[in-house]
């Protein structure tokens, strides 16, 4: 069986490119230019999706395509655009055919609230636990069933994917992780006790469990990208290797190179 992420040459992509855009004037103008030149396939018929916007649109598009693993080639019509390529409207099919693929696996969150059924969601960037009130959260951390931190007093804590390690994780002073490292950063958010704990790097196959202590007094919300679950008691997080996502990058500016370069940005 052929690899669905292996694209044909530029001519073979004619009529098989789906274009989506963020709801901004800049993205809408860029989409109009591309559609006029290359048309706009339906997602059911497409071999590749071109996303015009910023990193938020890339995540939104990947969530929309979960389970289909259509490759997504982003072009920056937003602000940061870490996951996007530069926008150019010329020779798009040839750029797509030459693009390099990066395969990612999202995190799966299973959040428990009271005695009801758990809520599950996938995160391409990170799963974060955040305090809901003025009082700091108290969270116990277990890794693969072994208690590693009995009580973390903090504003929150997160587990990030390598691709997401440059997003909220980086803002919380977590480490940037190269794609091939098979590691997941576990990063506290404004830790109060233990004050010197800066987080950990976990093997990609690790299963992380957060237990919320004093949950009635110190409620905590769990967030997996766009899915928020409030008043959680226990949250399990692991990398879901059964779900694959493909992003496409120009050969001279792949995602691995961006992650390395970001660590030398001052």
Residues labelled catalytic: 55
Contacts of 2 (CB under 8 A, 6+ apart): none
Q: 228 among the known binding-site residues?
A: no
Distance CA 242, CA 66 (A): 11
- Residue 29 has phi, psi (to 5 degrees) of -65, -40
Contacts of 256 (CB under 8 A, 6+ apart): 102, 178, 179, 180
Q: 70 among the known binding-site residues?
A: no
Q: 102 among the known binding-site residues?
A: no
Q: 167 among the known binding-site residues?
A: yes
Distance CA 64, CA 126 (A): 17
Q: 56 among the known binding-site residues?
A: yes
120 has which bridge partners? 110
Q: 85 among the known binding-site residues?
A: no
Q: 94 among the known binding-site residues?
A: no
Question: CA torsion sign, 74 to 77 to 83 to 85?
Answer: positive
Question: CA torsion sign, 70 to 76 to 78 to 79?
Answer: positive
Q: 89 among the known binding-site residues?
A: no
Looking only at the bridges linking them, the beta strands covering 48-53 and 17-21 are parallel
Q: 169 among the known binding-site residues?
A: yes
Are 240 and 106 within 8 A, CB to CB? yes
Q: 168 among the known binding-site residues?
A: yes
Distance CA 14, CA 9 (A): 10
The greatest distance separating any two alpha carbons of the chain, rounded to the nearest whole angstrom, comes to: 62
Question: CA torsion sign, 40 to 46 to 48 to 52?
Answer: positive
Are 135 and 212 within 8 A, CB to CB? no
Which residues make up each annotated binding site for NAD(+)? Answer: 55-56, 125-126, 155, 163, 166-171
Which residues make up each annotated binding site? Answer: 55-56, 125-126, 155, 163, 166-171
């Amino acid at each position: 069986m052929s690899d669905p992420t292996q694209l044909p040459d530029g001519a073979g992509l004619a009529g098989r490119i789906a274009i989506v855009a963020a709801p901004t004037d800049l993205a809408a103008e860029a989409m109009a230019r591309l559609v006029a030149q290359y048309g706009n396939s339906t997602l059911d018929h497409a071999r590749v999706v071109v996303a015009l916007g910023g990193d938020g649109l890339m995540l939104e598009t990947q969530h929309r395509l979960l389970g289909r693993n259509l490759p997504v080639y982003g072009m920056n019509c937003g602000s940061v655009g870490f996951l996007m390529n530069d926008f150019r409207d010329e020779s798009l099919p040839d750029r797509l055919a030459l693009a390099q693929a990066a395969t990612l696996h999202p995190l799966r969150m299973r959040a428990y609230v009271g005695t009801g059924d758990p809520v599950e969601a996938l995160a391409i960037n990170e799963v974060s636990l955040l305090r809901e009130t003025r009082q700091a959260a108290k969270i116990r951390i277990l890794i693969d069933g072994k208690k590693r931190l009995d009580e973390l007093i903090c504003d929150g804590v997160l587990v990030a994917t390598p691709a997401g390690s440059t997003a909220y994780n980086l803002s919380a002073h977590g480490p940037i992780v190269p794609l091939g490292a098979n590691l997941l950063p576990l990063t506290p958010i404004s830790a109060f006790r233990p004050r010197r704990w800066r987080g950990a790097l976990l093997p990609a196959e690790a299963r992380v469990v957060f237990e919320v202590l004093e949950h009635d007094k110190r409620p905590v919300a769990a967030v997996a990208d766009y899915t928020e679950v409030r008043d959680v008691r226990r949250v399990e997080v692991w990398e879901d290797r059964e779900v694959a996502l493909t992003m496409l990058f120009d050969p001279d500016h792949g995602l691995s190179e961006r992650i390395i370069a970001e660590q030398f940005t001052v």
